[in-house]
Amino acid sequence: MKKFAPSQITLHWLVFILVVIAYAMIELRGFAGRGTPLRAIMIATHFSCGFTILLLMLARLFLRHRHPSPAIEPPPPLWQVALAKIMHALIYLLFIGLPILGLISRYYDGQHWVLFGLSMPVADPSDEDFAYEVIDWHKTLAPLGYWLIGLHAAAALFHHYVIKDSTLLRMMPGKREK
């Protein structure tokens, strides 16, 4: 069975881990009081994970064009291939778009913010109305990630356990046929 390139597999699972951390930090920040160091760390971690996700998703796009996807054995019907392409396009759009929206909102908000512990530039003058509009889009679209990830995982598990094809195994770490 042919698998994705090791770089693609590594980036896939690394993005998954970073997405889990980014979502966890923003969902759990309410347990840390406003203005506390813990809350600041959680928000900075969310920003840093989001920025890293953006970079890794762009790298994944590059690798998708560099390495052809290994064939699924046995081949799925065309309607499943079409749905998979739509799902992957939505995942790429969301996990590239969300970080971009987040970065734009932070820049135009005009308030101090950090990535990886480094102070980031802000617009001078700031445009808080625009920043709030952009962050509203970010907050509105973010829950879509739960659905896309859930459907993506459910489809992979369905293919593995019910259809019994190679869909899931192609993205699992381990030995690769050359």
Please check whether residue 178 lies inside any domain of the structure: no
Give me the pLDDT at residue 28, please: 97
The DSSP annotation for 146-165 comes to HHHHHHHHHHHHHIIIII--
**What does residue 36 show for φ and ψ, rounded to 5 degrees?**
-85, 155
Please check whether residue 24 lies inside any domain of the structure: yes
Give me the pLDDT at residue 176, please: 61
Name the domain count of the chain: 1
For 104, residues 6+ apart whose C-beta sits below 8 A from its C-beta are 131, 134
Please check whether residue 1 lies inside any domain of the structure: no
Please check whether residue 61 lies inside any domain of the structure: yes
Q: Residue 26 sits in which domain range?
A: 6-171
pTM of the full structure: 0.93
Domain at 66, CATH number: 1.20.950
Angle subtended at Cα 117 by Cα 116 and Cα 119, rounded to the nearest 5 degrees: 105
CA distance 149 to 12: 12
Cβ–Cβ < 8 Å for 104, 133: no
For 28, residues 6+ apart whose C-beta sits below 8 A from its C-beta are 42
Cβ–Cβ < 8 Å for 105, 131: yes
Cβ–Cβ < 8 Å for 120, 106: yes
Please check whether residue 129 lies inside any domain of the structure: yes
* Structure-block tokens of residue 161: 């356990």
For 29, residues 6+ apart whose C-beta sits below 8 A from its C-beta are 39, 42, 43, 46
Please check whether residue 28 lies inside any domain of the structure: yes
For 85, residues 6+ apart whose C-beta sits below 8 A from its C-beta are none
Please check whether residue 149 lies inside any domain of the structure: yes
**What does residue 165 show for φ and ψ, rounded to 5 degrees?**
-105, -175
Q: What is the residue-level pLDDT of the chain in tens, covering all 178 positions?
A: 899 999 999 999 999 999 999 999 999 999 999 999 999 999 999 999 999 999 999 999 999 999 999 999 999 999 999 999 999 999 999 999 999 999 999 999 999 999 999 999 999 999 999 999 999 999 999 999 999 999 999 999 999 999 999 999 999 998 766 5
Please check whether residue 121 lies inside any domain of the structure: yes
